[in-house]
Chain A
Amino acid sequence: MRLLIKNASIIDARSKRDEKADILIVDGKISSIDSGIAAKDAEVYDAKGMLAVPGFIDMHTHLREPGFEYKETILSGTQAAARGGFTTICCMPNTNPVADNQGVIEFIISQNRKAGLISVLPIGAITKAQQGKELSEIGDLKSAGAVALSDDGKGVMNAEVMRRAMEYASMVDLLVISHCEDTNLAAGGVMHEGYVSTVLGLKGIPRIAEIAMAARDIEIARFTGTRLHIAHVSCKETVELVRRAKKEGVRVSCECCPHHFTLTDEAVKDYDTNTKVNPPLREPDDLRALKDGLKDGTIDCIATDHAPHAEAEKDVEFDNAPFGITGLETALGLVMNELVCKGELTLMEMVERMSFNPARILNLDKGYIAEGADADITIIDPNKKWVVEKEAFLSKSHNSPFIGMNLTGKVIATVAAGRIVYNAAG
């Protein structure tokens, strides 16, 4: 199997390569990068005027299988990921049953083998059934193929449990990803607590619910000397906590999501349940801080927190709707539109935050374009203007507050392990 990508502008964060060249792929690996490569019997993809970047890696996806296949399956989720330019995604363990044991991890891996599009790397639960009480069989999870641990969806409320999880996980070199939310402070909340929640009469989730637990987990990481990754940072204070901790040598990394740097709580004003997400959409100052954090490297990477929900589930009272936004297919458009086009990030920085850094944090030999590397490549038209359309989603769900939004920058094709797994041209 040979694929030749011609005339692409390659942007690679590891080598800082930013030049026009052809890429020859043989048997799933990049075999050579050069100008004017001629290869007989290779399939040719002409990427003239396009960018070729290392395939995006999403550290934070909900694939819903097993248990909630009506929202998303591993097949539909990976199709959506491919459309969004992702060649590797990490799926969170809040399935049914919870991915707190070897069996579920192996099931996910085997389902993805059948789907056969991109890499799916499962994240195991920190605690059994994500109850925050007893540790999962962390060693077994690692052996089965889990790449990280998280109780995402809720915070680990017991600090002692979190401390032991981080210590134990470090022994098998698994990263702990913290969903920072104090459930007592956040209880019953459905949106950001502030002026808008006051006007709407909706119960707020106060920013301290995130800040307090982020501060706690950073201190646990400092105390235990272990690694910590903070999921979906949404508050300016959390960005500052991470910035200071990094300076002080704490081994902490973090991510933020496109919806958090694009929308404020004002978006909730029409009671659109597609704006109901946890952590909630915050205030303009927070958006500013997220962009600054992404720029200066405090925030290591952009993750989608892709959280598909069926239309009927979202089509209810705001209080009763589930939290979550479908994110894989709008991520690049939002990053280009909100960050690159507005001068917040360079293309090189974008590639680092979406491909190279996630790989680095997860210790994956991915996220770069070089001879000998995995042939995971995303082809982007940086100037393509498009409208987010409900009908176009490949995900089973389309719970997006961005439907109808005009975006600039679109994924044109996705190459995973040397195969074109998504091609906008059809």
Chain B
Amino acid sequence: MSEWTRKDLLGLEELSTEEIELILSTAASFKEISTRAVKKVPTLRGKTIVLFFFEPSTRTRSSFEIAAKRLSADTLNITTSSSAIQKGETLKDTFKNIEAMQVDCIILRHSSSGIGHTLSKCVTPSIINAGDGCHEHPTQGLLDMFTIKEKKGSLNNVKVSIIGDITHSRVARSNIWGLKKLGAQVTVCGPRTLLPRDIDKLGVKVTTSLPEALKSADVINVLRIQRERQEAGLFPSLREYAIRFGVTREKLERFARKDVLVMHPGPLNRGIEITPDVADGSYSLILDQVTNGIAVRMAVLYLTLQANADGEEE
């Protein structure tokens, strides 16, 4: 099995197939810890992890925090309202200050694509991308893959359709990179105005027809539609979106395979991109995704912090 040498996890684009497999198999080992009476191992005792969230997030932030705590790391939460950013300090200054406090890892969510790449070059703590703009959300991609793999045994030749606002979705990008590397067949589906230019060059099938996307899929991953996109004029109304692209039980029964599985990165807009009977129904893997998210994030923290510690020794 390959070795892990990266101190940062910025995206799935730069990872090799072996590295992704290593994270997924490590995550499988970590999953057991969360089933114990004492859900904690001492592995990262004495490590300090800062959760730096410039965008609101409950799900991802708490998942990372639980993952860190189950590995015995100390965590600190910083959100925009409490940070110095609003006092005119640049992000780089803020990071230099955090670095000077000898923290070991920064988990970063920010609305600007690529910010992790920029900052990882100027500070030594591990940087884990928890979502940067419309670029990547690697741990979400990994936990989606983990969840599919858990149900299907392998990702090879599994057909996954990603439905919704592909243009603005970091979840879509991380999924596409990761799934393609592990041999899955990916289709993206959404309104033409929410499909980014040249997306087909990533090796995915592109369609604007939901029935088409549902037809052959083993798994469908429904993305959250943001109200702002409608306000920006990218589609006419949420009502029309729900009619054309909303995933409902009727559409699944009519077009999809009987054993199709449905995922959603959350939070849900019930009744818009997904109906409650689908989200809560037998197709749904949504809560498995949440459970698996912790194991995947524990694996990522373990691997990156270990690699960063090795680096310091040399």
Q: Which A residues contact B (CB, under 8 angstroms)?
A: 193-195, 197-204, 206, 270-271, 273, 312, 315-320
Mask for B175-203, Cβ within 8 A of A = 1, else 0?
00000000000000000000011110110
* B135 and A201 form a contact (CB under 8 A): yes
Known: A312-B90, A317-B91, A320-B112. A198 touches B117 (CB 8 A): no
Picked from A195, A204, A206, A271, the residue with its CB within 8 Å of the CB of B118 is A271
Give the distance to chain B from A69, nearest Cβ to Cβ, in Å.
20
How far, in angstroms, from A289 to B202 measured CA to CA in the complex? 26
Name which residue of chain B comes closest to A202, CB basis.
B113
In the complex, what residues of A have CB within 8 A of residue B13's CB?
199
How far, in angstroms, from A327 to B167 measured CA to CA in the complex? 33
* B91 and A201 form a contact (CB under 8 A): no
In the complex, what residues of A have CB within 8 A of residue B135's CB?
200-202
- Subset of 26 A-B contacts with CB under 8 Å: A194-B198, A195-B198, A195-B201, A198-B196, A199-B173, A200-B113, A200-B114, A201-B113, A201-B114, A201-B133, A201-B135, A202-B133, A202-B134, A203-B134, A206-B197, A271-B113, A271-B117, A271-B118, A273-B118, A312-B90, A317-B110, A317-B114, A318-B114, A319-B111, A319-B112, A319-B133
Picked from A201, A203, A316, A317, the residue with its CB within 8 Å of the CB of B170 is A201
Interface residue B39 (Cβ < 8 Å from any Cβ of A): no
* A271 and B199 form a contact (CB under 8 A): no
How far, in angstroms, from A315 to B92 measured CA to CA in the complex? 8
Known: A318-B112, A319-B112. A201 touches B134 (CB 8 A): yes
In the complex, what residues of B have CB within 8 A of residue A318's CB?
112-115, 118
How far, in angstroms, from A199 to B170 measured CA to CA in the complex? 10
Interface residue B132 (Cβ < 8 Å from any Cβ of A): yes
In the complex, which residues 189-248 of chain B have their Cβ closer than 8 Å to any Cβ of chain A? 196-199, 201-202
Give the distance to chain B from A260, nearest Cβ to Cβ, in Å.
20
* A204 and B117 form a contact (CB under 8 A): no
How far, in angstroms, from A230 to B118 measured CA to CA in the complex? 34
Q: Which 6 A-B pairs have the closest CB atoms?
A: A201-B135, A271-B114, A201-B134, A317-B112, A195-B198, A201-B113
Interface residue B136 (Cβ < 8 Å from any Cβ of A): yes
New A-B pairs, 9, CB < 8 Å, besides A195-B201, A198-B201, A318-B112: A195-B198, A197-B197, A198-B198, A201-B132, A201-B135, A206-B197, A271-B113, A271-B115, A318-B114
In the complex, what residues of A have CB within 8 A of residue B117's CB?
270-271
In the complex, which residues 27-56 of chain B have their Cβ closer than 8 Å to any Cβ of chain A? none
How far, in angstroms, from A200 to B90 measured CA to CA in the complex? 22
Name which residue of chain B comes closest to A204, CB basis.
B197
How far, in angstroms, from A169 to B111 measured CA to CA in the complex? 44
Mask for B50-94, Cβ within 8 A of A = 1, else 0?
000000000000000000000000000000000000000011100
Give the distance to chain B from A266, nearest Cβ to Cβ, in Å.
13
In the complex, what residues of A have CB within 8 A of residue B173's CB?
199, 201
How far, in angstroms, from A193 to B167 measured CA to CA in the complex? 12
Name which residue of chain A comes closest to B198, CB basis.
A195
Give the distance to chain B from A197, nearest Cβ to Cβ, in Å.
7
In the complex, what residues of A have CB within 8 A of residue B90's CB?
312, 315-316
Give the distance to chain A from B56, nearest Cβ to Cβ, in Å.
18
Give the distance to chain B from A242, nearest Cβ to Cβ, in Å.
25
In the complex, what residues of A have CB within 8 A of residue B202's CB?
198-199
In the complex, which residues 95-129 of chain B have their Cβ closer than 8 Å to any Cβ of chain A? 110-115, 117-118
How far, in angstroms, from A341 to B173 measured CA to CA in the complex? 40
Give the distance to chain B from A316, nearest Cβ to Cβ, in Å.
6
Name which residue of chain B comes closest to A316, CB basis.
B90
Known: A200-B135, A201-B113. A317 touches B197 (CB 8 A): no
Name which residue of chain A comes closest to B200, CB basis.
A195
In the complex, what residues of A have CB within 8 A of residue B170's CB?
201
In the complex, what residues of A have CB within 8 A of residue B198's CB?
194-195, 198
Give the distance to chain A from B262, nearest Cβ to Cβ, in Å.
25
Name which residue of chain B comes closest to A273, CB basis.
B118
Picked from B110, B118, B197, the residue with its CB within 8 Å of the CB of A194 is B197
Give the distance to chain B from A207, nearest Cβ to Cβ, in Å.
10
How far, in angstroms, from A195 to B111 measured CA to CA in the complex? 20
How far, in angstroms, from A204 to B113 measured CA to CA in the complex? 12
Name which residue of chain A comes closest to B114, CB basis.
A271
Known: A199-B173, A199-B202. A316 touches B114 (CB 8 A): no
* B196 and A197 form a contact (CB under 8 A): yes
Give the distance to chain B from A284, nearest Cβ to Cβ, in Å.
14
How far, in angstroms, from A3 to B300 measured CA to CA in the complex? 69
Give the distance to chain A from B89, nearest Cβ to Cβ, in Å.
11
How far, in angstroms, from A204 to B117 measured CA to CA in the complex? 19
How far, in angstroms, from A318 to B90 measured CA to CA in the complex? 13
In the complex, which residues 125-174 of chain B have their Cβ closer than 8 Å to any Cβ of chain A? 132-136, 170, 173
Name which residue of chain A comes closest to B119, CB basis.
A317
In the complex, what residues of A have CB within 8 A of residue B134's CB?
201-203
In the complex, what residues of A have CB within 8 A of residue B118's CB?
271, 273, 317-318
How far, in angstroms, from A199 to B115 measured CA to CA in the complex? 14
Give the distance to chain B from A234, nearest Cβ to Cβ, in Å.
16
* B197 and A202 form a contact (CB under 8 A): no
In the complex, what residues of B have CB within 8 A of residue A315's CB?
90, 92
* B113 and A319 form a contact (CB under 8 A): yes
In the complex, what residues of B have CB within 8 A of residue A312's CB?
90
Name which residue of chain B comes closest to A188, CB basis.
B232
In the complex, what residues of B have CB within 8 A of residue A316's CB?
90-92
How far, in angstroms, from A318 to B117 measured CA to CA in the complex? 10
How far, in angstroms, from A186 to B226 measured CA to CA in the complex? 21
How far, in angstroms, from A199 to B196 measured CA to CA in the complex? 9
In the complex, what residues of A have CB within 8 A of residue B115's CB?
271, 317-318
* A202 and B199 form a contact (CB under 8 A): no
